[in-house]
Chain A
Amino acid sequence: MTFEELTTHIENLLGAEAILRIDEQCTPGAIELAPTDLLKHMEVLHADEQLYFDQLSCITGLDNGPEANSMEIIYQLYSIPFNHHLTIKVKLDREAPVVSSLSSVWKTADWHEREAYDLLGIHFEGHPDLRRILLPADWEGHPLRKDYKHQEYYRGVKVAY
């Protein structure tokens, strides 16, 4: 399916009001969904016969900085049998970035969401095991936030070098 066919098909499935924005500047083409009902919508994309996005390639968390005051989470979906791609973007509130976890749909989401939680501080509701994955458990802050300042000392060792 081409991107236009994908978007019209998804519009029919989810309803026009579910799609907030269609972004053709993105490669592969992106649609923006609201954080509410995300899990339900993604389940539809995963299970629909004509879409069948069976692979979640990547989850990218993104901080737009304190001025823009928003965060984004970007899902790369791919369907192996139909060979079509789709990007799903979800905009989050930067003060309390919460989105529902997709690990019940794609298990890939488990570790990728833990990474986004670790590096950006995005919380995933319903995640089975939301611990830090790359940084130590007692590390302060989330390094990929644009206003991140590293802590001065970590366990008595100076962090700056």
Chain B
Amino acid sequence: MADTVQYIFDRKNLNQSEPQKYREEDLRREEMIINIGPQHPSTHGVLRLEVVASGEEVVDVIPHLGYLHRCFEKHAESLPFNQSLPFVDRMDYLAAMNSEHAFAMGVERMLGIEDKIPKRVEYIRVLVAELNRLASHFVALGSYGMDIGAVTSFFWMVRDREHILRLLEWVSGARMLYNYIWVGGLFYDLPVGFEGRCKEFVDYLKPKLSEFEKVVIENKIFVDRTANVGVLPLDLAINYGITGPMLRGSGLKYDIRRADGYSVYPELDFEVPVGKGEMGTTGDCWDRTWVRVRECYESIRIIEQALVQLTGDHKRTRDFDPRAMVPKKIRPKAQDLYVRAENPKGETGFFFRADGRSDIPFRCKARGASFTNLSIISEIARGGLIADLIAIFGSIDIVLGEVDR
């Protein structure tokens, strides 16, 4: 095919592949359709928002997804469990460790080796997952500030995120897509000296975070821009399956790390922050952002405790092998399993069906937190202003890799 022209002119190719839901003739006279995206900084990736606007007012928002669709689920049906892990990284690419953790946990649960994983491995998993949660929240907070006009927040957050990415690069060899948490163990033990440097970073980060909180989150312009905007009532949030900081922003103390108590989270001491409507109404954009900032502090606490464990009771020994429990052949018994974990964005779940005959899943379904969280957008943006639509969209904090999978 190399010497022939691939593309032939055809009039029907001029039709839109993803047609608008609203047609021009259905609109009232003062209404118009505005497309935001797919290439627009405020859509945080390739997403198109079809906005029906009446002047400045948003009448309806229809998100059009799929620009980043790679069909992870089809890939997973042709690869052994352990080889799907790199694809899991690419779903929520801002928090790859957390998704890996969920996936590995699910497969371990199917194999029945979940309780046999060494404590040190579990603490390292929690440590890197919480570091990654910080990194993910930093992108959320930084880019959210940028969405509504505060450039400083982005620079500050990306500066601090860089430290985390370098730490994780030291651990795994990659900056964003790690393939570090394996089914049954880890790729490698922590590098020598990591714990000390990580502690240094955490001590550096705490004052920076409170500085950020003072300058951006409690800033009057920021509060004016986000308080009482995009209020998400709790019952609606639950009905839409919203999870993560969005649900907690609406005032529900619900965290899967606490509700399910997976990994070593029951042994760790941390709070679950909830939105209280301090600046406006409970469940507004400010609450959601504030919950993310508080979660950063909680993640720091978890990291500190994990570091104490990793240098104390479960410290590095010469004969410790993080791959000791990694199965040679992953062949679970025939069963179905749904596993879920708390990602920075919310509940990430995997549904597996193992047929018991091969090491390839018969079906692997990924439930993306961002996918479900995004479905609320038209509900809470309706009736607001277009400028508020951007503020609301940013506060949902989606990553398109997970929306489209």
Contact of A143 with B by CB under 8 A: yes
- Give Cα A61 to B353, complex, Å: 11
The CA of A83 and the CA of B71, in the complex, are separated in Å by: 32
State whether A108 and B336 are in contact (beta carbons under 8 Å apart), knowing that A74-B351, A156-B10 are contacts in the complex: no
Interface-forming stretch among B1-9, B145-153, B161-169? B1-9
Name the A residues within 8 Å of B240 (CB-CB).
Answer: 106-108
B15 within 8 A of A: yes
Task: Select which of B10, B69, B334 is within 8 A of A25 by beta carbon.
Answer: B334
Inter-chain contacts of B69 with A (CB < 8 A):
134-135
Interface flag for A110 (CB, 8 Å):
yes
Determine the distance from Cα of A132 to Cα of B19 in the docked complex, in whole angstroms. Answer: 10
Asked if B13 contacts A155 (CB within 8 A), the reply is yes
B252 at the interface (CB under 8 A from A): yes
Contact with B along A56-75 (1 / 0, CB 8 A): 11101110000000000010
- B372 is contacted by which of A61, A111, A158 (Cβ under 8 Å)? A111
A-B contact count (CB 8 A): 115
Q: Which of A25, A56, A60, A136 contacts B241 (CB 8 A)?
A: A56
Quote the shortest CB–CB distance from B232 to chain A (angstroms): 12
The residues of B that contact A28 with a CB separation of less than 8 Å are 338
Say how far B266's CB is from chain A's closest CB, in angstroms. Answer: 14
Q: In the bound complex, what is the Cα–Cα distance between A5 and B54 (angstroms)?
A: 53
A57 close to B241 (CB less than 8 A): yes
Is there an interface contact between B17 and A26, defined as CB atoms closer than 8 Å?
no
* Contact indicator A57/B347 (Cβ below 8 Å): yes
B109: CB under 8 A from chain A?
yes
- Interface status of B74 (Cβ within 8 A of chain A): yes
A26–B336 contact, CB under 8 A? yes
Closest beta carbon of chain B to A18's beta carbon, Å: 20
Known contacts: A106-B241, A134-B404, A155-B17. The answer to whether A119 contacts B73 by CB under 8 A is yes
Residue on B nearest A80 in the bound complex, by CB:
B254
Q: Which residue of A lies closest to B351 (CB)?
A: A60
Complex partner residue of A156 from B6, B71, B363, B371, CB under 8 angstroms: B6
**B340 sits at the interface (CB 8 A):** yes
A54's nearest neighbour on chain B, judged by CB, is B238
Report if A131 contacts B (CB, 8 A): yes
Interface size class of B (residues with CB under 8 A): 35 or more
Contacts of A143 in B (CB 8 A): 71, 74
Which residue of the partner chain, among A60, A85, A136, contacts B66 with CB atoms under 8 Å? A136
Candidates B19, B65, B71, B353; contact of A133 at CB < 8 Å: B65
Q: Is A30 an interface residue (CB 8 A)?
A: yes
Q: For B77, what are the chain A residues with a Cβ–Cβ distance below 8 Å?
A: 144
**Given A27-B338, A108-B240, A135-B66; A58-B13 close (CB under 8 Å):** no
Chain B residues with CB below 8 A from A110, complex form? 375
Residue A101 CB within 8 A of the other chain: no
Q: How far is the CB of B107 from chain A (nearest CB, A)?
A: 12
Q: Shortest beta-carbon distance, A133 to chain B, in Å? A: 6
Question: Is A87 within 8 A of B7, CB to CB?
Answer: no
Q: Which residues 244-277 of B sit at the A interface, judged by CB distance below 8 A?
A: 252, 254, 259
Q: Do A108 and B66 touch across chains, with their CB atoms under 8 A apart?
A: no
Confirm or deny: B18 has a beta carbon within 8 angstroms of a beta carbon on chain A: yes
Q: Check: B337 CB closer than 8 A to any chain A CB.
A: yes
- Which residues of A lie under 8 Å from residue B367 when comparing CB positions? 57-58, 76
Contact B18 A136 (CB under 8 A): yes
Tell me the chain B residues, 334-369 only, with Cβ under 8 Å from chain A.
334-338, 340, 347, 349, 351, 353, 363, 365, 367
| B21 interface hit (Cβ, 8 Å) | yes
The 10 closest A-B pairs by CB, nearest first: A108-B241, A136-B17, A134-B66, A26-B336, A58-B367, A60-B365, A111-B375, A134-B69, A155-B13, A27-B337
Please list 21 pairs of residues, one from A and one from B, whose beta carbons are closer than 8 Å in the complex, sorted by A's number: A26-B335, A26-B337, A27-B335, A60-B365, A61-B365, A76-B349, A80-B252, A85-B338, A107-B241, A112-B372, A115-B371, A119-B71, A134-B65, A136-B17, A136-B18, A136-B66, A137-B19, A144-B71, A144-B77, A155-B12, A157-B7
